[in-house]
Structure 1
């Protein structure tokens, strides 16, 4: 095979930018996690401190547990809703489907600052519109300061994130559904399958690879989450760290906050653990799940 040097010319800018912004900082962070505050080599001492020291371990496991719950809410709410919306909008002859798709997808392009601030205003018990809206339909007694309660703040923010990003799985599944040949669906109609049975027996098995990709993207995105929590609840992720996730825990540790002095080495250690969790999750998907998914070629 003849070597084509022009390929390197086209790839070089992307490789250089990606290396400068992603690869080099990644290895620098991993290296920093193995150092002590004086710059000397500490080995795994920082990791032993993070997992074994009660002062660090309590905050870390609380943040990790909140992160897992944040991810579970997205998996159980966002992705099923996205699949259902895609199935509805892909029905032939549906009027206004393009308008619905656009309206659902628009929140995904909004800034986290806008989304967090607007929903904080909506759910405010003092000047928010949620109490008045529930009062208008006679359900004001159901309103609670959801963002101010330890038991509901994280779930509320997870649902706000679901509202913002449900358009992404919807569009990916919608594209996967459109790629199914009409001949397959017509054959199912000839066999007498109802639309519901056709979805479960024909369409759903054919879009499993797309669902797998959405699941791993959801996993990576949620374990990198930071913006919405920070905008809505601040760096302390209140109330009483009930919404603290690994991203906010990393921010406070690395840069410091208020009277807390920043600790770059421990912050890099938390970042390294986050990288390990994400890498492990992606590897499980690639080698244990994706290889078992049957792909159909048309």
Structure 2
């Protein structure tokens, strides 16, 4: 007798029923708007309607000084923003995770909570609190720096073009360093005890053990942390908008692709929004993130699989 396939079909329909709400909501909120944004980037407004323009919007974005100067400036700032996170946030996250993974460390739960707590705070809260702290008029930063004899180094960092982007980047690092810390910490405590004991029998302890044994074993996790940092930084908007406003001052020195997209699409002050050019900027952000993720998946992740258990 052939087995009755109806139970298998029932299970498959059962899965579809449970997946349907999530798929519908995700499609309505993510997939359809993304497709419509990509479509809109190939049109231009004309006589109250839209006319197909091909790649003209992209050519305008790259070459027309009215658009290209701001675009390349925002892209450059975004790269700097990302590199600061890669150079400071992730190494600090690795160091904190390595310290917290020491078995004999007292109060590990408290330190994990303390370092991870800022990631759960609202961008608005973080932005306004740090603006108050760093204010030259009523901020507490000059007083705190005076306690350690560094008050002479204080300046209006958020109001200077040379330091505004670095300052906002470091605040973002402070807020999100808990995420790479926890991911790397989870990878470190997942390393089998046999591997650590074998390293200790060979005389590898402390930093040498971490550098030669543990670090290579957590490279896949470091790759995930890096790509999450890349995606998050090229989608950044909230903190810049909260601290520096839509104009990303001073003089657009903290302007990122996210804030440039906001000003272009919705308009600012007396300037009307331009949805088609806004969609063009959004499409470029999507393509940049897509290229970064694809490069990681096809060129980096494959080489890291040999380190996985």
Q: TM-score range by the shorter chain?
A: over 0.9
Once superposed, which parts of structure 1, at least 4 consecutive aligned residues long, lie more than 4 Å away?
none
Q: Which residue of 1 aligns with 2:160?
A: 149
Contact kept in structure 2, 1:206 and 1:296, CA below 8 Å: yes
Q: Secondary structure at the match of 1:36?
A: strand
Q: How many residues align?
A: 298
Decide whether the 8 Å contact of 2:220 with 2:307 is kept in 1: no
The residue number in structure 2 matching 1:90 is 101
For the residue of structure 2 that corresponds to 1:37, the secondary structure is: strand
Is 1:32 matched up with 2:40? yes
Alignment of 1:197-276 (within 5 A): 197-276=208-287
Answer yes or no: is 1:130 the counterpart of 2:147. no
Is 2:30 the counterpart of 1:19?
no
Partners of 2:216 and 2:307 within 8 A in 1: no
Tell me the alpha carbon deviations over residues 136-194 of structure 1, each in whole angstroms, 9 at most, x when there is no partner.
22211100110000010001000000000000000000000011000110111111112
Deviation at 1:127, TM superposition (A): 0.4
Q: C-alpha offsets along residues 11-51 of structure 1, whole Å, 9 cap, x if unaligned?
A: 11111111110000000000111111131111111101000
Partner of 1:279: 290
CA contact (8 A) 2:131 2:243 kept: yes
Closer, same or farther: CA 160–169 of 1 in aligned 2, 3 Å: same
Task: Provide the C-alpha distance between the structure 2 equivalents of 1:256 and 1:205, rounded to a whole number of angstroms.
Answer: 48
The CA RMSD measured in Å over matched residues stands at 1.0
Give the match for residue 189 of structure 1: 200
TM alignment of 1:26-105, pairs within 5 A: 26-38=34-46, 39-105=50-116
1:294 is paired with a residue whose SS is helix
Q: Distance in 1 between matches of 2:77 and 2:236?
A: 11
TM-score (norm 2): 0.95
Q: CA deviation at 1:117?
A: 0.2
Q: 8 Å contact 1:229–1:243 — kept in the other structure?
A: yes
Contact 1:108–1:165 under 8 Å retained in 2 = yes
* Cα pair 1:71 1:223 within 8 Å, conserved: yes
Contact 1:188 1:198 in 2 (8 A): yes
Please give the TM-score of this superposition, normalised by the length of structure 1.
0.98
**1:101-135 superposed Cα distances (whole Å, 9 cap, x missing partner):** 00000000000000000000000100000011112
Note if contact 1:60-1:246 (Cα within 8 Å) is conserved in structure 2.
Answer: yes
SS of 1:293's equivalent in the other structure is: helix
Q: Residue 179 of structure 1 aligns with which residue? A: 190
Q: Which runs of 5+ in 2 are unaligned?
A: none
Alpha-carbon distance, 1:297 to partner: 5.3
Aligned runs of 1:281-296 on 2, under 5 Å? 281-296=292-307
Structure 1 unmatched ranges of 5 or more:
none
